């Protein structure tokens, strides 16, 4: 009688070993349809090439993907958790097919990540196929030129608070400033206002939703945390194991869901009484939704999910971009000076800096700085010497003033916001916000590297400054 349970346990153990052996050692190398694509060998049976991707870069902006691309070609196979093969593509023609002509044929790998969907919902980032088409079509009017123009005063107001806080720190004798929390809170406060008329005020006071959001998205993951994040896309229950990292994550998620529910309910209540007059993105979506035929409307849950879409896409990306722009300008003082000269010429009295949307986009060198930051701070094809010349791996905003180079640039070799149906719907919002923040910071402060302080570029989950953006900051003399 006892032998049956023992035999069953033995079979289960042997079966598990056999299954793991097949998944880790046999399928990736001998069965997978990707097996003949060139690429780096796995560094580990468990982590594949993940550790290389997580390690960050100490040598400028030369990430592992770019090194692989130069060594193995435009299509590279690498290995994820448990040696699962994945493909990195840097071929413009294939990118055109993926992003434009067959964009809905290529399902995003994170679209079935249950823990992520449980937090973020199937908003525009996670939606696929016809659901994405419907959401995108319905949301496009909210991102019209006239609506984005109306956001500029909020960009300026919040950034003025940032300027005052940095000046206060300098007045206290702290010239070596950790700018990461300042910039992150600034972009969070801005997206709160323009996204759904919500006053985070995280720059000046504690806020439960801001703290919860920060705990989920702005914590630098160690190897255990990173492993849990990636494992959860394969085995969803991993996120439910009750220990430190997961418990903190669950608590933060509960706060985010509760506060998001309050936001959407308040907006719905205003809309029902006809009092929803705000011009924030969520209000525009709700009012537009009321006018649509039933089959084109977003559901209550879909509208609520857009709150997290705005928070993640609208806050994180701009924060990272602005941070890298300051880092690069600090390490290239000549370009920082050129940008400041342009800004001072356009706005001699910085206390009266109040540009319109069109005026901020008319500043030529500011445009060059942002474009070059977006080029060099994202992987691979945007650093190809074939397109960008022998200085492709260097930060050089002036390259954008070269007419010969501009003839080579298109939406398939320069795509910081992607393109096609899955292109970033908020790219104009992000660009205007980043330009306002950069302009105001450069007009008010001089940024230099801190001697002996090394900054790396973290690759996962977003390409953030690691450990933080520490710079030597001083007041611009009039």
**395 within 8 A of 376, measured Cβ to Cβ:** yes
Output the known binding site for heme: 424
Residue 66 is predicted with a pLDDT of: 83
At 60 the pLDDT is: 60
Can you count the helices (H) and strands (E) in the chain? 21, 7
Q: What are phi and psi of 38, to 5 degrees?
A: -70, 155
397-415 burial: b if 16+ Cβ within 10 Å, else e? bebbeeeeeeeebebbbbb
User: ∠ CA 112-114-119 to the nearest 5 degrees?
Assistant: 120
What was the pLDDT predicted at 225?
66
Return the pLDDT at 182: 96
> How many Å apart are CA 94 and CA 101, to the nearest integer?
10
pLDDT at 314: 83
Q: How crowded is residue 56: how many other Cβ atoms within 10 Å of its Cβ?
A: 18
**Both structure tokens of 372:** 């070059």
Stated pTM of the model: 0.91
Burial of 162 (0-12, 13-18, 19+ CB in 10 A): buried
DSSP code of residue 419: -
Q: What is the pLDDT of residue 319?
A: 93
- Residue 329 class from Cβ within 10 Å (0-12 exposed, 13-18 middle, 19+ buried)? buried
The angle subtended at Cα 393 by Cα 392 and Cα 395, nearest 5°, is 90
pLDDT, tens digit only, all 478 positions of the chain:
445 667 777 777 788 788 888 888 899 999 999 999 999 999 988 889 888 877 655 446 777 888 898 899 999 999 988 888 999 998 888 988 988 888 888 887 666 666 677 777 788 888 899 999 999 999 999 999 999 999 999 999 999 999 999 999 999 999 999 999 999 999 999 999 999 999 999 999 988 888 887 777 766 556 666 666 666 666 666 777 777 777 887 888 888 888 888 888 999 899 888 889 899 999 999 999 999 999 999 998 899 888 888 888 888 889 999 999 999 999 999 999 999 999 999 999 998 999 999 999 999 999 999 999 999 987 687 888 888 999 998 999 999 999 999 999 988 889 999 888 888 999 999 999 999 999 999 999 999 999 999 988 876 667 888 889 999 999 998 7
Q: Rounded to an integer, what distance in angstroms lies between the CA atom of residue 111 and that of residue 90?
A: 22
| Inter-residue contact 354 to 38 (CB < 8 Å) | no
Question: What integer pLDDT is reported at residue 473 of this predicted model?
Answer: 98
Query: How distant is the alpha carbon of residue 229 from its chain centre?
Result: 16
CB neighbour class for 271 (10 Å; exposed up to 12, middle 13-18, buried from 19)? middle
Pairwise CA distance, residues 457 & 440, whole Å:
25
Question: Helix or strand or coil: residue 412?
Answer: coil
* pLDDT, position 462: 72
Q: What is the pLDDT of residue 205?
A: 92
d(Cα 141, Cα 286) in Å, to the nearest integer? 12
> Structural domain boundaries of the chain?
1-90, 91-475
- Beta-carbon contacts of residue 346 (< 8 Å; ≥ 6 apart): 355, 359, 363
Annotated binding site: 424
Q: Provide the b/e sequence for 254-270 (b: ≥16 CB within 10 Å).
A: ebbbebbeebbeebeeb
Q: Which two tokens stand for residue 290?
A: 């009321």
Tell me what pLDDT residue 465 has.
87
**91-475 CATH:** 1.10.630.10
């Amino acid at each position: 009688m006892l032998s049956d349970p023992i035999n069953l346990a033995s079979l289960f153990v042997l079966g598990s070993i056999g299954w793991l052996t097949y998944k880790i050692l046999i399928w990736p190398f001998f069965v997978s349809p990707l097996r003949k694509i060139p690429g780096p060998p796995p560094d580990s049976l468990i982590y594949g090439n993940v550790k290389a991707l997580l390690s960050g870069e100490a040598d400028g902006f030369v990430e592992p993907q770019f090194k692989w691309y130069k060594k193995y070609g435009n299509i590279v196979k690498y290995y994820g958790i448990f040696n699962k093969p994945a493909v990195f593509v840097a071929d413009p023609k294939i990118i055109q097919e993926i992003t434009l002509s067959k964009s809905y044929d290529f399902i995003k790998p994170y679209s079935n990540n249950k823990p992520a969907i449980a937090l973020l919902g199937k908003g525009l980032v996670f939606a696929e196929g016809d659901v994405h088409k419907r959401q995108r079509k319905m949301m496009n009017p909210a991102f019209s030129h006239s609506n984005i123009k109306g956001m500029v005063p909020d960009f300026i107001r919040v950034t003025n608070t940032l300027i005052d806080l940095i000046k206060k720190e300098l007045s206290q004798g702290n010239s070596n400033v950790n700018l990461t929390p300042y910039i992150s809170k600034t972009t969070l406060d801005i997206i709160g206002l323009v996204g759904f008329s919500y006053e985070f005020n995280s720059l000046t006071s504690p806020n439960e939703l801001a703290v919860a959001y920060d705990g989920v998205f702005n914590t630098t993951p160690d190897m255990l945390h990173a492993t849990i994040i990636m494992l959860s896309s394969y085995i969803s229950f991993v996120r439910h194991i009750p220990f430190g990292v997961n418990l903190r994550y669950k608590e933060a998620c509960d706060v985010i869901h509760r506060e998001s529910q309050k936001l959407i309910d308040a907006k719905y209540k205003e809309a029902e009484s006809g009092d929803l007059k705000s011009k924030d993105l969520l209000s525009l979506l709700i009012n537009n939704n009321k006018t649509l035929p039933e089959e084109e409307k977003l559901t209550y849950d879909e509208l609520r999910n857009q709150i997290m879409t705005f928070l993640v896409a609208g806050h994180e990306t701009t924060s990272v971009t602005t941070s890298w722009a300051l880092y690069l300008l600090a390490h290239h003082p000549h370009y920082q000076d050129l940008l400041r000269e342009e800004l001072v010429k356009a706005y001699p009295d910085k206390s009266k800096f109040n540009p319109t949307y069109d005026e901020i986009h008319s500043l030529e060198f500011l445009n060059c700085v942002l474009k070059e930051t977006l080029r060099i701070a994202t992987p691979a094809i945007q650093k190809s010497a074939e397109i960008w010349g022998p200085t492709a791996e260097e930060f050089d905003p002036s390259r954008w003033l070269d007419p010969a180079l501009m003839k080579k640039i298109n939406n398939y070799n320069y795509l910081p916001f992607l393109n096609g149906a899955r292109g970033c719907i908020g790219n104009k919002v992000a660009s205007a916000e980043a330009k306002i923040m950069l302009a105001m910071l450069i007009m008010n402060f001089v940024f230099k590297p801190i001697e002996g302080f090394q900054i790396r570029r973290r690759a996962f989950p977003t390409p953030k400054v690691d450990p933080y953006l520490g710079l030597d900051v001083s007041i611009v003399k009039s």
